[in-house]
Amino acid sequence: MIPDPLLKAIQAKRCLLFIGAGFSKNAEMPNGLTMPSWNELAIGLSKDLREKSNEPLIAASNYAKEFGTNELIRKLSELLHVYAAKPGKVHCKLTTIVAFDTIVTTNFESLLEDAFFNKKPIHVIAGDEHIGKYSPSTHTNIIKIHGDFTHHRDIVITQEDYENFLDRHPVLATNLAAWLSTKTPLFIGYSLSDSHFQQLRHILKKQLRDFMNKGYIVLFDADEKKINEYENDDLIVINLKTKDTTREKVLLEFLCQIQDYVSIRDTDYAELPTKEHIQKDTEFLGSGENYDIQTGKIVNAFSEFEDTLRDALRNYGIEENRLNRSFSYLVKTAAQNGILDPNNVGELTRIRGIRNKIVHTKYNPTSNEVDYVTTMIKDAYKQISQIKHLDELTTIKLFTNKTTYDENTPIIITGNVNPRLPNVPVSLRIVNSKNQAVAIFQVDVDTSWDFKAEHTPEGPLWNHSENYTILATCGNAKNQQSVKITFIKKNVSKLLSNIIQLDDESYDLSYLINGGDLKNILPDHDSNSLIFKISAISRGELFVTLPRSLIDSKRNSQDEEFIVLADGDETLIDERRFDDHRTLSIEFPENTTEIEIIGSQLGGKTIQSSNIVRPLNGSGAPRDDGKYLDPQTLIIKKGQKIVFLNTDTVAHTFTAETAEGGPSGEFDTGLLMPGNSFEYVPDKAGVIHYFCMVHPWKVGKIIVK
């Protein structure tokens, strides 16, 4: 049962809603993933630490000290599954409760913004500089009191961040205190052990002292001891029971009850049924057996329909402040604008009467009433779906000031909405190549029907050089325009590190990459080489420091140039040599996937010792390891003889070029029977690819110095 003082505070818009990490556990997650709690984040962070801790703030502080703040934020975004998580049913239901015009959250992800996206106007306030956007009369304001991944510079996560919060965010803290001096706090998704919760309570008590309003907190299946703990902290517990159901369903029902109460205005109380009305309804609907289980069906069905009706009116251009009025007003407005059949107004009002009987008189509906409500609501849904709303006639034009950006270049987004929808903002979403959102925000359309926004591509969500898409939506979700941009991450400020394992030895390899991202580094013993797997979004450069103990290139004890290939073709390099290491600066073209650095030694060993190429036994059939030749890559000087010797039990060919491109004619052994050989002397430097025409999966290459 929801306390009546809380319901009245919500209805009067005097309730300040606080959303914590527990609320995010209701997110829609793929592949069995679950959203971690605050304490589970500490465990996830500690796995990488030398000095482990189960205390969230200590673990975060240790992680920042050991790996840096940027890496801490990147790790948090990974643990919180920011790319995989989607708003759940509970998030979507929250967007329908118009009385919550200000929502404070300590969560770093953007599930709330995503739920409101393209549904209602929102302002996201993540720091002192954003507080000027606060507008409860026209927008739902989401206060990210501890920052988020989009506003990563404002994130409060370490012990030091908590201690310095009031000094770093005095305006935000003061406004929070001001809201709480006139509003009733409602906490959902928090526990007493939650560091976020403890800091919130500390701020409020310090700012308000004895003037702090008594608050409410939602718990699930709490025992008497736990309830007493919260009550000792001046909080009234709303204890939701989950017997034979889930927390999500119970919380969904809780929000539905709030929505139902809030949507009843004075005009609706006039519709509360008298005895005569009840008798008339009974005569109209017929009598039948009462079903307790049906009450929730009618209440929830009506609630969902009311949401849909408001969305339809919003899309039609009805102002937001008019959408907060009574159900009767909504139905009449919909009928006047052709969204609903005027003949159905009376029937929908009758349905509202049934719903009011259930809520206010604890009436159990009959099976006939359930069927009647279901039929009428289905018919109303059908009418709404057939209306061609104003926003379906709207066109959007979308532009950016450039096509390529880096971390230091703001993205300027401009556009036009024709015709302009009154009080309907343009919702903007930026997604990566996997359609994962890295930014979600809204922008208002001015009286000239134009809009403009600016977003700087920085932070942990922008951690890959790749193509991104900006999506602009106004009103109906189908009314969308998009434009593609390219983002290049330049790690010019700090060398990155990669540990290479080779023959039970570990080697620390430093690198820097511009124009792409490094995916993996693989040693190749057959060719004395290191293979760098990369994703190149544009023309770029790889700067790498190679320990001589890991890889070297020598001839007669003298240093010799490395051979460097970008997707099999030689590329330009600039090299510097030192006693214990060598540095290479390697240019690569757009869309490169592999850079191979070939030397004469790998791990101090020189493996290749002859100029003979042999097929491995059994290479006449595909192999899981992809190895068919010895060596797979032959390195030789110009003018030296190459011998292709068939030591297998089946016939092979060694044919220059590739199976896709066909023979080049540079050399072709023809069908080489077991025991036979073929000699070839290259007369120019370069890379020669070859394959077997009988077994086209058998490919190799020759590097001629």
Residue 296: what pLDDT? 64
34 neighbors 25 (Cβ within 8 angstroms) = yes
541 neighbors 515 (Cβ within 8 angstroms) = yes
Residue 151: what pLDDT? 82
* pLDDT tens, residue by residue, 320-370: 777 777 777 888 888 777 777 777 777 777 777 777 777 666 677 777 777
CATH ID of 391-487, from 2.60.40.1930, 1.10.10.10, 3.30.70.890, 1.10.3720.10: 2.60.40.1930
Angle between helix axes 345-361 and 275-285 (nearest 10 degrees) is 120
330 neighbors 323 (Cβ within 8 angstroms) = yes
* pLDDT tens, residue by residue, 62-112: 888 888 787 888 888 888 888 888 999 999 889 888 789 999 998 988 899
d(CA 368, CA 635): 85
Q: Which of 108, 97, 107, 110 is nearest to 140 (CA)?
A: 97
The secondary structure of 562-576, three-state, reads CEEEECCEECCEEEE
CATH ID of 4-28+87-256, from 2.40.50.100, 3.40.50.1220, 3.30.1390.10, 3.40.50.620: 3.40.50.1220
Overall fold of domain 496-602: Immunoglobulin-like (2.60.40)
- Average predicted confidence (pLDDT) for the chain: 81
d(CA 98, CA 11): 9
| % of the chain surpassing 90 pLDDT | 17
Tell me the whole-structure pTM to 2 decimals: 0.60
CB atoms within 10 A of CB 283: 9
Q: Do domains 4-28+87-256 and 496-602 have the same CATH topology?
A: no
532 neighbors 595 (Cβ within 8 angstroms) = yes
Angle (CA) 342 276 358, round 5°:
75
Q: CA-CA distances (angstroms) from residue 354 to 4, 273, 357, 373, 380?
A: 22, 8, 5, 9, 17
pLDDT greater than 80 at residue 534: yes
Where are the chain's structural domains?
4-28+87-256, 36-79, 264-387, 391-487, 496-602, 612-704
Q: Tokens 């939701």, residue?
A: 240
Residue 269: what pLDDT? 38
CB atoms within 10 A of CB 424: 27
Angle (CA) 523 526 529, round 5°:
40
Residue type, 411: I
Residue 281: what pLDDT? 41
539 neighbors 637 (Cβ within 8 angstroms) = no
Angle between helix axes 195-208 and 170-182 (nearest 10 degrees) is 70
Which residues are CB-neighbours of 557 under 8 A, at least 6 positions away? Answer: none
d(CA 570, CA 568): 7
Confidence of residue 469 (pLDDT cuts 50, 70, 90): very high
Residue 290: what pLDDT? 37
Beta strand spans in 548-632 (E): 551-552, 554-555, 558-559, 563-566, 569-570, 573-577, 581-588, 594-598, 601-602, 612-615, 629-630
As its CATH architecture, domain 612-704 has Sandwich (2.60)
pLDDT greater than 90 at residue 167: no
